[in-house]
Amino acid sequence: MTFATILIVADEPQIRRVMLTTLVSEGYSVVEAKCGNDALLKLRRRRPDLILLDVNMSGIKGLDACREMRRRNEVPIIMLTEGNTEREKVMALDAGADDYLVKPFGVQELLARIRAALRRAPATENSPSFESNGLKIDFERRTVFVRGERKHLTPKEFELLWLLVKNRGKPLRHRKLLQAIWGPDYGDETEYLRVFISQLRKKIERNPSQPQFILHRSLARISIRTALRCNERRLDENSQRRDKGDSCFVPTSRRPQTSGPTMRSMPTFATYSRTT
């Protein structure tokens, strides 16, 4: 039995009715909104745990409603979309959605996406604070400050940043990142990482076009960068062939300090490789 509250935003009564019946039977508390404006009014009165938002609605469109919701709060949002093209998926994610479902969808797929959106990366609250070159992250309070200014991250953005910091110095493959943040049913949705990495860079970088913390590199460049930091004179070609694929990489700090609850470091970099 779950007690999470879900806000359903759709102008089609049949969609709301089916999702209401399904979610109530699973133990969720449900609030309905007939349009984007109605949803924004309800959000002022009560903060749900999750929003299911239809992209095609009369009045304020789903993408615009999503942007406004994301501007006001950090509630997880699942967008219900019509198309299955990468462009439409990226548009939904770029508007602020944490996930999307392509209509028509099955009940079990809907419930799986809801569980993934509501889940939290384990033990973020037990992680020590992190500071590096103007970036300060308090994992217990789930806050991020960049040069003294607080940055509001969505739950998934925060968990992605936490995972990169936690694994700095290690190459992380796309599949591992997706499954760690969104759940075991994910692994091939590389557009998720492209969009969320881009969003993180906009929020924490001084100049997103010349990033300091999160860089895009190919796997070969990652291997070379690691080798140079380790003062190795050449790369193991067999190891490179075994490691083909996409990865994210955060080199360790040069002079880590282990005393106290706060991890302070030299400027930290996350290296993320695009799919080619």
User: Domains, the chain, ranges and CATH?
Assistant: 5-118 (3.40.50.2300), 124-272 (1.10.10.10)
pLDDT of the residue at 48: 93
127-132: long-range pairs with CB below 8 Å, 24+: 127/162, 127/166, 128/261, 128/262, 128/263, 129/261, 129/262, 129/263, 130/165, 130/262, 130/263, 130/265, 131/262, 131/263, 131/264, 131/265, 132/213, 132/253, 132/264, 132/265, 132/266, 132/267, 132/268
Look up the pTM and report it: 0.68
pLDDT > 90: what percent of the chain? Answer: 24
For residue range 83-116, what is the model confidence (pLDDT) as tens digits?
778 888 888 888 889 998 988 889 999 999 999 8
For residue range 46-74, what is the model confidence (pLDDT) as tens digits?
899 999 999 888 778 889 999 999 888 88
What residues does 270 pair with on adjacent strands?
214
Q: Which of 47, 44, 83 is nearest to 62 (CA)?
A: 83
Lowest pLDDT segment from 4-8, 77-81, 200-204, 209-213: 209-213
pLDDT of the residue at 42: 92
Is 150 within 8 Å of 144 (Cβ atoms)?
yes
